[in-house]
Amino acid sequence: MEKIALITGSKGGIGSAITSQLVEDGYRVIATHSPGKRECAQRWFDENNYSSNKVRLFELDVTDTEQCAERLTQLLVEEGTVDVVINNAGITKDGVFKKMTAQAWKDVIDTNLNSVFNVTQPLFAAMCEKGGGRVINISSVNGIKGQFGQTNYSAAKAGMIGFTKALAAEGARSGVTVNAVAPGYTMTPMVELMKPETLDFIKGQIPMGRLAESVEIAKSVSFLISDAGAYITGETLSVNGGLHMQ
């Protein structure tokens, strides 16, 4: 029976790689997009040559608690089940804390952390009731070690890790595993636009001497949601080339 995976932030560099990997793994993917972004999402869908039986575009404001509850409850009715939830939506609004605005703090916390509650909560009970499921939260190395100029982002990504551990304890007896993946610097289209000297500086901080490829993050997710990862829960898998070791 075909399994269904829902992913937020599906069109970004890492999100696109995860979506492609899920399709390759045989999942039907529910790929969320923000309200008003249907045309952009459709272009992404067409560029990747997806078919509607493999990828469903799904409008969802991940920062809106009430909308998520309503839309995701209806999704369960329409699809019958959601086997995997991947919380990947994220933004940055960097700035030193002394100058950070309350809005910059709120926007990042709402999109990167509160969305994890909004998206997971309507689906988690159904996973427990059917006796299985996977939740993957895409955190960051900066949620583990912190990063200058990213108090909002680091706080949100660290919060995802705490959420992962606590929810894993609740889901374990019902066969629902909850894990996080914490990428380091990854070669996405956005990162490729950086100045060469900036990229060289970043690579110089990484023991492996290079950035991650998006597909490497996607493969990590694929492992954790596979049968091979069935006994792993409450863990954070760091994929950072040795940039930070615990």
Q: What is the pLDDT of residues 81-98, one digit of tens each?
A: 999 999 999 999 999 999
CB 195 within 8 A of CB 180: no
- How high is the pLDDT of residue 240? 96
Active site residues: 153
Q: What percent of the chain has pLDDT over 70?
A: 100
- How high is the pLDDT of residue 68? 98
User: With 90 as the cut, is the pLDDT of residue 190 above it?
Assistant: no
Confidence category of residue 193, pLDDT binned at 50, 70, 90: confident
pLDDT (mean) for 156-160: 98
Q: What is the DSSP string of the chain?
A: ---EEEESSTTSHHHHHHHHHHHHTT-EEEEEE-TT-HHHHHHHHHHTT--TTTEEEEE--TT-HHHHHHHHHHHHHHHS---EEEE---------GGG--HHHHHHHHIIIIIHHHHHHHHHHHHHHHHT-EEEEEE--THHHH--TT-HHHHHHHHHHHHHHHHHHHHHGGGTEEEEEEEE-SEE-HHHHTS-HHHHHHHHHTSTTSSPEEHHHHHHHHHHHHSGGGTT--S-EEEESTTSS--
Whole-number mean pLDDT of the chain?
A: 96
CB 239 within 8 A of CB 217: yes
- How high is the pLDDT of residue 38? 94
Q: What is the pLDDT of residues 110-150, one digit of tens each?
A: 999 999 999 999 999 999 999 999 999 999 999 999 999 99
User: With 90 as the cut, is the pLDDT of residue 1 above it?
Assistant: no
Q: What is the pLDDT of residues 13-47, one digit of tens each?
A: 999 999 999 999 999 999 999 999 999 999 999 99
